[in-house]
Every structure is written in C-alpha cells, then in structure tokens.
Chain A
Amino acid sequence: MIKEIFKHLKVWMLLIRINFMSQMEYRANFVSGILMEAGFLIGKILYVVVAYRAGRQIMGYGPDEILVFVGGFVVLTGFYAGLLGTNLFQLSSLVRDGSFDMILVKPLNAQFFATLRRSEIGALAFDVIAGVAMVVIGLIRLGIGPDILLISGWSLFIASGAAVGYAIWVAPMALVFKIVRADAIAGLVDTFWDFNNVPMVVYNKIGQTIGLFVIPIFVVTNFPAIFALGRMTPLLFAWGLAAPFITCFIASLCWRAGLKHYASGGN
C-alpha cells in the first residue's frame, strides 16, 4: 500500500515536470494562463475591496479577517486551477471519443491518472504566492504573529481543504461515464466553489450545516482561516481532519461505480 502511494507520488512529480517542460515550449500560452488567473484573482479581491470600503463588520469579521479568508480561498483555487481543473474539463471528451481506454491500460490507478495527469504550474504558483501574501498581510494587520503552530495548522487545513476539494470535484464528475456529456456538471460544481468567496458565517444555520457536513464546500477554504484566526472549535477541528478521508473514500466509491458504465464509445 505505502509502496503504491510512493510510486504514484513519484509518477505525479514526473508528470508535473513533463507538463511544465511542454508548457515552456508555448510561452505565450503559459503567460496567458497566468493572466487568466490574475483576472480571476481580481474577481476574488473585489470581495475584499467591498469589505474594506464598506468599513463594516460582516457577522463579527472585519476586513482584515476577510482578507485572511479570501487568501486561503485563492491558494486552494490555485490547487484546483493548477492541478485539477484541466483534467476534469477534459474528462468528458476522453470518455466521449474513447481515449479513456489509454488511461485504463496504464499500470497506474485510473482515477489518479485521469484526474491528475495534466497540470498548470504557472496558475498554481501565481495563486499560491498571491494567496499566501494576502493571508500574511491580513494576519500582520490583525497583529497575529505567524508562529510554527499557526503555520503548521494553517498548512494542515489547506492540505485537508485540497483533499476535500478534490473529492467534491471528482464525485459528481464520475457521472461522466453514465451521461458522457458532463460539461454542465463541471460548470455547476464550479459555481459551488464560489460559495467560498465569503466566510461561511454569512450563511444561515441550515446553509452552514449543508456546506459543512453534506456538501462540505466550507471545509475547503474556511477552515485554514478559522484556525489562523483562533476561532476553531473542537468539533470543527475534528471534522477538518476526518473530512478528507471520508470524502475521498466516497469519491473513490463514486468513481468505481461510474467506471462500470464506461462503454469505450467512439472506438
């Protein structure tokens, strides 16, 4: 098991390297990819601008705290845009024209290879740098000094958020094997992602419960900020650690169930 995990990690690193090298061949595309992320970043920063310019508290959160939230959201958007997005948007066409066969015959886990083989390192690096900068600025303005515990905890919940985000994306996309054209599903999940533009406290109790435990979208980006701001309750802490394992397990079940419907069409 451990050997398999390391093998897949090694392959993933190689794939990232190969993708980076091929992107360097088309530098204009690489730069325009970063420009696109910069454009989306503007859309996210606007929420911070509104918080600062309005000069009001949002359910007990001031503008600097909103900056810490949005910073975490930007980092995890980098994970999605850089490591996951391209693969998921291509999945539909792979299944439609039967190219998915080539993934199945590889001596690797099909879910791993189908969902992580392509990467956009420029977008990932841009968002991570911008997001971390926003978090650091927000914490400094709040007078919170980053120590080892804060950095470790924030990083842990960023990793947890990345895993939950991966599961939230992969589980519905498994429907692609059944319905073939799943572009609309990808678009719909994309809109769910944006619910993290504002802290979960602005939603009512029902919305928060659904976003935490049913479709745990708030685990993705709220938890790192909640931890960094010292507002984490024991229940949220425990759920933040358990959610990645539970959601990834469910996503894996969905993937395997979906794969049974793959008909190798187009060949």
Chain B
Amino acid sequence: MSDAAASMKYGKCFSLGFKAAFEYRINFLFTVAGAVSPVVIQTVLWIALYGQDPAATLFGFTFAQMVAYTVIGQLVNRLVRTGFEYELNNDIKSGTLDRYLVKPVGYFGYRLFSFLGDKLVQSLLMALLLAAGVIALVCTLGFSITPAAVVLFIISLAAAFTLNFLLFWCVGLAGFWLTEIGFMFEASRIVIITLAGGIFPISVFGARAERILALLPFRFTIQFPTELLCGRIPSQEIAPAFGIAAIWIVVLTALSQFLWRRGLRRFAAVGS
C-alpha cells in the first residue's frame, strides 16, 4: 500500500474522531466542569496551608505557582483523559473486534487516530478555558506566561496524548485475558493520574520518589505539560525531558504491539 493511501486512510480515522468529538461536545464540557470542584477544594487547602506567608515554598512551589499548577493541571488532566479502552474491551468481549480484523485498516491505527482527532476538538475548546484560567491567574496572582512556554506546552500535549493512549491501550488489552475489567480501568486511571501529578505535584511524595517518577512515563501526561506552561522547568532540562518521553513512546509502542499479537492468539470472536 502506498504512503499516500495509508495517510488518507488514517486521516479518515482522524476525521471520524474529530466529528464524534463535535457530536459529544456537551459531554466534554460536563467533564471539564468536573474539574471545578478539585480546583476549589485544593485552592482552599493551599490557602489554609500557606496561611499568612504566600511567599513561602511548599513542595518546591510558591503559593502563586501552586494555584497555577492546580488550575492548569486539572484542565490538562481532563484533556488527556481517555475512554476508548471501554470500546476496546467491548470489542474484545463481544467479539466485534473480528469486524475490524478483516478490514483494510489496522485496529491500533484506527483507535489512535480517532483518539487524536477527538482530542483536537477538545483541545480547541480547552484552549478557551485555559486562556480564561490564565487571564484569571494573571489578574489575581501576577502569574506570567511566555510565547515559548505556550509552544512547548502544545508540543508536550501531543506527547501526552500519545503516551496516555499507549498506557491505556496496554491496560485495555488485558481484556484478552480477563473477562470483566471495567473496574480495573478506573483503578489504573486513578493510579496513573496520581503518579502523573494529576492530583498533587509529584514532589509531595518526597525527593527520592520524585526522581524515580521523573524517569517514568506518567509525569509526561500531566505534570510535564503543566510545568512547561507555568515556566517551572529550566531550559536546559526541557530537551532531555522530551528525549525521555520519546523513549517511552517507542517502548510502549513496542509493548502494545507485543501484547496485541499475544492477545490475538487468544481471541476467539465469541458472540460475533
């Protein structure tokens, strides 16, 4: 198959995800609304903890940095969230996966490009909310943002989408071996979000845990993009961090292909 044909095919998958996201845009807005309560809860907690000394640092953050991290981190957390793993599990369980296996399109590519198309629409909606959040932070806390930080944030978001997709693809493939894993998705999600700095910055776990977590893929899905936009990562550390993210994309892609091949051997298309 020519490269042009392949790119046209996956371009269609991308546009399918794009259209689906437009169809369910209200649902996405409700998901984003769900970010309001953690932002409120954590902001009042930080106000109480920093008390009368907002210039002090806690976990390496000043008060303004911590509030900025809370607001932006929660929005990024909502933005990178997946959901395709339930469809993947359903396709495996119900046997409808066989319909995709006989089509001239790779199931992995189909899901990946649909997911990225879906995320493009959500990113456009999120950009408006992020802009509103940043303006509020600028007006209330003197938070500042640079054009370079915005560019790096956008690039890091592309890596975050890909890594989160690969992580949940690998989790979703457990459906080949286990029958009922709906609960496992939620358990995995909360653990991954925690290790990604999606609830609190990973520095709350202590310096040693932070050093280890900095090398794992999770941080690149939430904390890394958030800290880039907040301008908290020194310039000399940005390129190596992107390098680690790229290595994890390669490793997780290889792992997902391995699990896919092993899983397909067990797939019996029961129910289709």
Cβ-based interface call for B176 (8 A) = no
Chain B, residue nearest A122 (CB): B183
Interface with A: B3-11, B187-195, B218-226, B260-268, which one?
Answer: B187-195
Q: Which of B36, B182, B187 contacts A39 (CB 8 A)?
A: B187
Contacts of A18 in B (CB 8 A): none
Q: A20 CB to closest chain B CB, in angstroms? A: 16
Interface residue SS majority, chain A: helix
Q: With A and B bound together, what is the CA distance between A38 and B189 in angstroms?
A: 12
In the bound complex, do residue B194 and residue A29 qualify as a contact, i.e. CB atoms below 8 Å apart? no
Q: With A and B bound together, what is the CA distance between A49 and B187 in angstroms?
A: 19
Interface residues, chain A, CB within 8 Å of chain B? 26, 28-29, 32-33, 35-36, 38-40, 42-43, 46-47, 49-50, 53-54, 56, 58-59, 184, 187-188, 190-192, 194-195, 197-198, 202-203, 207
In the bound complex, do residue B184 and residue A26 qualify as a contact, i.e. CB atoms below 8 Å apart? no
Given contacts A32-B187, A35-B187, A36-B184, contact A202 B48 (CB under 8 A): yes
Q: Which of B49, B180, B184 contacts A54 (CB 8 A)?
A: B49
Which B residues from 175 to 217 make CB contacts under 8 A with A? 178-184, 186-191, 193-194, 199-200, 204-206
Number of B interface residues in the complex (CB < 8 A)? 37
Q: Which of A38, A39, A49, A58 contacts B48 (CB 8 A)?
A: A58
Q: Which of A56, A184, A207 contacts B49 (CB 8 A)?
A: A56
Q: With A and B bound together, what is the CA distance between A29 and B187 in angstroms?
A: 12
Interface residues, chain B, CB within 8 Å of chain A? 27, 30, 33-34, 36-38, 40-41, 44-45, 47-49, 51, 58-59, 178-184, 186-191, 193-194, 199-200, 204-206
Contacts of A33 in B (CB 8 A): 183
Q: Which of A54, A194, A203 contacts B38 (CB 8 A)?
A: A194
In the bound complex, do residue A46 and residue B194 qualify as a contact, i.e. CB atoms below 8 Å apart? yes
Q: B42 CB to closest chain A CB, in angstroms? A: 9
Q: With A and B bound together, what is the CA distance between A58 and B48 in angstroms?
A: 6
Chain A, residue nearest B193 (CB): A43
Q: B131 CB to closest chain A CB, in angstroms? A: 23
Contacts of B178 in A (CB 8 A): 28, 32
Contacts of A192 in B (CB 8 A): 37
